[in-house]
Amino acid sequence: MLYTNWTRIKVFSLPFLEYLLFPKDFTFLLEFYFVVSSYIRYIDHLIALRSQCLYNCALKLYFGN
């Protein structure tokens, strides 16, 4: 089962990797970079929100508000 999943992943990811390494046009690479960078910014934003929430909760617990 693992072998068939791995070959399926390998078969489907090889053209994608080939297109990334040797692109026919660069618009796809720009869109791909934009999508990846926006996901990274979104995850960064979520981490910052979580740490700010934890900091606020710790202050409330410490000062008893």
Both ends of the chain: CA-CA distance in Å?
A: 55
Higher-scoring residue by pLDDT: 63, 13:
63
**Distance, CA of 30 to CA of 28 (rounded, Å):** 5
> How many structural domains does the chain have?
1
Q: What would the mean pLDDT of 37-56 be, rounded to a whole number?
A: 84
User: Do 32 and 20 touch, CB atoms closer than 8 A?
Assistant: yes
Q: Is residue 40 part of a domain?
A: yes
Residue 6, pLDDT above cutoff 80: no
Q: What percent of the chain has pLDDT over 90?
A: 0
**Distance, CA of 37 to CA of 22 (rounded, Å):** 21
Domain of residue 51, residue span:
22-65
Q: Is residue 12 part of a domain?
A: no
